[in-house]
Amino acid sequence: MKRLLQYLTEYKKECVLGPLFKLLEASFELMVPLVMAAVIDRGIQNRDQGYIVYMCLVLVGLGVVGLACSITAQYFAAKASVGFAAKVRRALFGHIQSLGFTQLDQVGASTLITRMTSDLNQVQNGMNLTLRLLLRSPFVVFGAMAMAFTIDWQAALVFAVAIPLLAAVVFGVMLWTMPRYKQVQVGLDKVLGAARENLSGVRVVRAFGREEAETEAFQRDNNALTRLQVFVGRVSGLMNPVTYILINLATLVLVWAGGLRVEAGAITQGGVVALLNYMAQILVELVKLANLIINIAKALACANRVADVMDIEPGMSESPGGAGGKAPAAGGLSVEFQDVGLTYRGAGAESLSGISFSAKPGETVGVIGGTGAGKSSLVNLIPRFYDCTQGRVLVDGQDVKDWPLAGLRAQVGVVPQKAQLFSGTVRENLLWGNGGAIDQELWQALEAAQAKDFVERKPGGLDEPVAQGGRNFSGGQRQRLTIARALVRRPRALLLDDSASALDFATDARLRQAIRALPYGPTVFIVSQRASSIRYADTIVVLDDGRAVGVGTHEELLEACGVYREICESQMEKGRDGQ
């Protein structure tokens, strides 16, 4: 929580003025019982209508001034809490962007979404209530007790007994509920993770008829969360009735003691009414304080969860200088793998081991292998999405760890395995590759990616709307648009991670031919399951269970690599069967 408080520094004035105006409002509220006592003892007892009217106007004045103070306090509290939450959300999002893929894989997308939405909203509400009520409620409680002692100290002893009992109930419930609310948020993470997983994989769930099983699994997690929330809610709900019971018992004692004191002539009837009003004020404020403490408990638990994410250190360090000081060169990048190994954090075995090969500027490298062989892991090491745990990856003769991340990734165009488009227009999606590209460059990239024809047929052309995730385009169209987005950047290295799997063979061939003809001659890495897609690559890397079992040209590997020969023969047989 202390880490987050630094984002309140710009709102010091609001953090002071908000509670201050609330205390002013409370001060005017504490005067009301005294005015009522004067009305009873002097106005009503003496049948002085003029005095009664005058004191009623005083009450109206106190109400108006108190309302103005309350509105002012709400303004400052809202400004501070909303501004604070906005700054924390911005900083949290920026911090998440700085995390490596390893940290993102560990934390999970659903957890991060919960931190940025539900948790931060709870922190914002808790901050607002804290600024308005944290000082006001205790001030009214102890102020009412002090005012009661000025009226009659013997009758006011009831306050001295009731307030500690009420405080014990309130703080006892708070200390019990705080850790439980953290458990509730953890359960919420689990439910959101299950929901997100099922929504993103709904086609797979339905294809395998797993609707009932997934529904039951979700229901178990949801029911566990519900039971915990209900249990914590019941304990928290005890606070109001218990406080009401104690206050009402104190009121009964106060009426009895006040009656005796009035009969003895030690206190006036107006004084008893004032004492009862102060007891009612204490009741209202303690109920507010009880609810405030519950909200603060939730907010603190959520703030600690947000701070936990902020405390995650980015897994990738950048060396100053190095390759970043070089002027950008023309042509492709040279890439060299030197005995590279990769073990994902928490994994039981290496995903890659002993990988060694090199690619000269402008060459095409094909990467092929069975499912889970490590193809995507290999190309992800070039832009430093992950760091190798053994060996070195050299780009233009420099270790990738010596490159500033922004400088390295600015020269690499990545087309991920899953084609991802963003809501907006075709133009806006392409400009992700290069924000300063003109229309001519966009059309050139679309033409090279074999996407120009279907974009031209769209009514909006470059301004054709794109639904979230590109749902209004087919799988092949999405893949071609993501390739065009990478080409707009004019990268020195182009990584195609199985990005043509939805294309037919003829379109795939035209795409590869267009990429080879690019005037700026990028170094191209093609990850594919199809032998035909990488057949004409200058170098082919064959992976099997994370190891490079063959490196060479198509002809060399057919002679020397059994795994590659088996892949080619199996695909040729499938082609004959299809014919």
Q: What is the CATH number of the domain that holds 495?
A: 3.40.50.300
Domain identity same for 348 and 410: yes
Q: Identify whether 219 is part of a domain.
A: yes
**Do 161 and 237 fall within a single domain?**
yes
Domain check: are 264 and 393 in the same one?
Answer: no
| Rounded Cα distance, 367 and 534, in Å | 7
Q: What is the pLDDT of residue 465?
A: 93
Report yes or no: 173 and 60 within 8 Å, Cβ to Cβ. Answer: no
pLDDT for position 1:
63
**Does 319 fall in a domain?**
no
Whether 324 is in a domain gets the answer no
Residues 360 and 437 in one domain: yes
How confident is the model at residue 577, as a pLDDT? Answer: 45
Q: Report the phi/psi class of residue 470: left, alpha or beta, with left for phi > 0 and alpha for psi in -120 to 50.
A: left
Q: Judge if 451 and 345 occupy the same domain.
A: yes
Which pLDDT value is given to residue 258? Answer: 77
Q: What is the pLDDT of residue 326?
A: 47
pLDDT tens digits for range 386-396: 889 899 999 99
**Alpha-carbon distance 133 to 117, whole Å?**
24
CATH number reported for the structural domain that contains residue 230 in this entry:
1.20.1560.10
Could you tell me if 358 and 453 lie in one domain? yes
- Are residues 481 and 379 part of one domain? yes
**Which residues of the chain fall short of a pLDDT of 50?**
322-328, 575-579
Whether 339 and 285 map to the same domain: the answer is: no
111 and 213 inside one domain: yes
Residue 319, pLDDT score? 62
Alpha carbons 183 and 236: distance in angstroms, whole number: 15
Asked whether residue 298 falls in the same domain as residue 334, the answer is: no
Could you tell me if residue 62 is inside a domain? yes
Question: In the chain, how many domains are there?
Answer: 2
Three-class DSSP category at 384: coil
Q: Are residues 44 and 130 in the same domain?
A: yes
Residues 70 and 24 in one domain: yes
The verdict on residue 115 lying in a domain is yes
Judged on CB neighbours under 10 Å (0-12, 13-18, 19+), 300 is: middle
Q: What is the C-alpha to C-alpha distance for residues 122 and 528, in angstroms, rounded to an integer?
A: 46
Residue-range definition of the domain harbouring residue 395 = 330-578
